[in-house]
Amino acid sequence: MGDVVTMDDLTNDEIIEILDCAERLVPVARGDVILPLLDGKVLANMFFENSTRTRMSFETAMKRLGGSVLNFSSIGTSVAKGETLYDTMQMIDGYADVAAIRHPRQGAAQYSADAVEIPILNAGDGAGNHPTQTMLDLFTIREAHGTLEGLNVVLVGDLRYGRTVHSLSHALVRFGARLTLVSPNTLRMPDEIVSDLRSHGAEVTETESLIDQITEADVIYMTRIQKERFPDEDEYAKVAGIYKLEASDLSGAKKGMAVMHPLPRVDEIDPSVDTTDHARYFQQAFNGVPTRMALLCRSLGVDVPKKVKK
Amino acid sequence: MTEMRRVTAIRNGTVVDHIPSGHAMQVIRILRIDTARATPVSLVMNVPSDKLGRKDVLKIEDRELNQEDLDRLALIAPAASIAIIRNHAVAEKMRVELADDLVNIARCSFSNCITKNNREPLPQRMRVVSHDPLEVRCYYCGRGQEIGELVENII
């Protein structure tokens, strides 16, 4: 019931409700206000694949709310000895009240949700979904533009393997966004996703050119070409470094246009962009904390107070 | 001209009519009919049909299809009509109906799906997201599955 495996697990009203809760929790996320809403609760951070921001922001979110965290890594544990995901999750079902799971295999989060009683938050499954990232992305977009409705969002880079953009694009079209998908041909958004987006009535344009899109964009969402998801080095070399955004490219951009990136970046965004008003990616990384706080509260059935006082 | 009877009538078993032309071999696979077995299986392909233009027909002696068989069959032959034959007479007529949730019918074709580990104990599941045109996706990983792949990966 509190599972969030894909964005389909949340209605538009629920998304807005979670974003509103996250907004109220910002002072708690910063450590300015002490609010132990999740005192006595335990989060299992089940990371079968490496993560920096997602794992740490889940941990901070839980701890800032007075809860505690079990950190699991598949290296050197029973998983390395051949334990099934089912068995590992059975164990966690007995140890924790909620679990965040990241796994290299697609479908692992849904599989875990079916295997256990406790709520599962999908923290990324293969090239599948990453809905908690989507929630923080939506939070960041709303923070920049005051709304999610009717924006022109340009998604750039690895749209084939990038789970972040898969979840985000689904969510954005539900709020009436216009999507421009910019990628090399080999890294196009999978057909079934494009067909889903269009069936929602969304205007979706696919192109290989980023520069032509800058002046009309409300959001430019850059992604890293993920070396680790390529079957071979040659294919990677053909597309590595294909999109680079520099401060000088943004001279014609709309005021308020937000440049976002799930991070880590390699060379997609030049450091010269960091000091422009368009740069939102570090704020975006912080926003992972209040949004994951709100998601943890929802999964554990804990209400966030209407007013969070100092 | 009267259409000549191409295959003799069967005594006991099942007749699967209105299979889309050229798909009878896939039906044999999806129904897991052991072609090395002793009892006869008659197969007619590409015969004229008012309903489909051309169709395939399959007659399987000494086997009555059950509901699970029909769920599988629906993937390939959603318009098939089934007659159960007992003692040369039609004892029962059935229609196939494709369920929205297909449990343990086929394995996911995607190499990186969590269900690729044979030791994982939860059932294989597919969701039918659209009946016409047919669109089937793995319930866990969400990958679209081609009909040929489903037949290939039948459990």
Q: What is the ipTM of this complex?
A: 0.88
Q: What is the 3-state secondary structure (H, E, C) of chain A?
A: CCCECCHHHCCHHHHHHHHHHHHHCHHHHCCCCCCCCCCCCEEEEEECCCCCHHHHHHHHHHHHCCCEEEEEECCCCCCCCCCCHHHHHHHHHHHCCEEEEEECCECHHHHHHHHCCCCEEEEEECCCCCHHHHHHHHHHHHHHHCCCCCCEEEEECCCCCCHHHHHHHHHHHHCCCEEEEECCHHHCCCHHHHHHHHHCCCCEEEECCCHHHHHHCCEEEECCCCHHHCCCHHHHHHHCCCCCECHHHHCCCCCCCEEECCCCCCCCECHHHCCCCCECHHHHHHHHHHHHHHHHHHHCCCCCCCCCCC
pLDDT higher than 80, residue A3: yes
For residue B53, the distance in angstroms to the closest alpha carbon of chain A comes to: 31
B75 near A CB under 8 A: no
Asked whether the beta carbons of residue A107 and residue B137 sit closer than 8 angstroms, the reply is no
pLDDT-derived band at A223 (thresholds 50, 70, 90) equals: very high
Asked whether the beta carbons of residue B143 and residue A106 sit closer than 8 angstroms, the reply is yes
CA angle A11, A13, A18 (to 5 degrees): 95
Neighbours of A129 (CB within 10 A): 30
d(CA B141, CA A82): 21
B109 near A CB under 8 A: no
* The pLDDT of residue B34: 81
pLDDT higher than 60, residue B4: no
Name the residue among A85, A106, A125 with its Cβ closest to that of B120: A85
Asked whether the beta carbons of residue A104 and residue B117 sit closer than 8 angstroms, the reply is no
pLDDT (average), residues B16-36: 89
* The pLDDT of residue B55: 94
Asked whether the beta carbons of residue B114 and residue A128 sit closer than 8 angstroms, the reply is no
Asked whether the beta carbons of residue B121 and residue A84 sit closer than 8 angstroms, the reply is yes
pLDDT-derived band at B9 (thresholds 50, 70, 90) equals: confident
Name the residue among B119, B138, B144 with its Cβ closest to that of A107: B138
d(CA A69, CA A60): 9
pLDDT higher than 70, residue B1: no
pLDDT (average), residues B115-127: 95
Query: A205 with A216: CB under 8 angstroms?
Result: no
Most A-contacting residue of B141, B145, B146, B149 (CB-CB within 10 A), to test interface: B141
B113 near A CB under 8 A: yes
* The pLDDT of residue A235: 81
Asked whether the beta carbons of residue A192 and residue B137 sit closer than 8 angstroms, the reply is yes
Chain B residues within an 8 Å CB radius of A107: 108, 113-115, 138, 140-142
DSSP B29: H
* The pLDDT of residue B5: 63
pLDDT (average), residues A224-235: 81
pLDDT (average), residues A90-116: 96
* The pLDDT of residue B37: 72
CA dihedral of A264, A282, A288, A161, whole degrees rounded to 10: -30
Q: Which residues does A210 contact at the CB level (< 8 Å), separation at least 6?
A: A154, A156, A182, A220, A243, A245
* The pLDDT of residue B51: 82
**For chain B, which domains are there?**
13-95 (3.30.70.140), 101-152 (2.30.30.20)
Asked whether the beta carbons of residue B141 and residue A6 sit closer than 8 angstroms, the reply is no
Neighbours of A160 (CB within 10 A): 20
Asked whether the beta carbons of residue A106 and residue B142 sit closer than 8 angstroms, the reply is yes
Q: Name the residue among A220, A230, A231 with its Cα closest to residue A273.
A: A220
Chain A residues within an 8 Å CB radius of B116: 105
Asked whether the beta carbons of residue A105 and residue B113 sit closer than 8 angstroms, the reply is yes
pLDDT-derived band at B2 (thresholds 50, 70, 90) equals: very low
Most B-contacting residue of A89, A106, A169, A199 (CB-CB within 10 A), to test interface: A106
Asked whether the beta carbons of residue A192 and residue B144 sit closer than 8 angstroms, the reply is yes
* The pLDDT of residue A76: 67
Q: What percent of chain A has pLDDT over 90?
A: 80
B136 near A CB under 8 A: no
Per the structure block, which two tokens stand in for A257?
Answer: 């246009």
Per the structure block, which two tokens stand in for A4?
Answer: 């969030």
pLDDT (average), residues B106-121: 95
Question: Which of A123-127, A174-178, B31-35 is the least confident region?
Answer: B31-35
Chain A residues within an 8 Å CB radius of B120: 84-86, 111
* The pLDDT of residue A73: 81
Closest residue on chain B to A88 (Cα) = B120
Asked whether the beta carbons of residue A85 and residue B137 sit closer than 8 angstroms, the reply is no
A129-168 confidence digits (pLDDT tens): 999 999 999 999 999 999 999 899 999 999 998 889 999 9
For residue A111, the distance in angstroms to the closest alpha carbon of chain B comes to: 6
Asked whether the beta carbons of residue B114 and residue A125 sit closer than 8 angstroms, the reply is yes
CB pairs under 8 A between A and B: 61
pLDDT higher than 70, residue A305: yes
* The pLDDT of residue A70: 97
pLDDT higher than 70, residue A27: yes
* The pLDDT of residue B32: 86
**For chain A, which domains are there?**
7-130+287-299 (3.40.50.1370), 131-285 (3.40.50.1370)
* The pLDDT of residue A309: 79
A189-221 confidence digits (pLDDT tens): 998 889 889 988 889 999 999 999 999 999 999
Asked whether the beta carbons of residue A114 and residue B138 sit closer than 8 angstroms, the reply is no
pLDDT higher than 70, residue B3: no
pLDDT (average), residues B5-33: 88
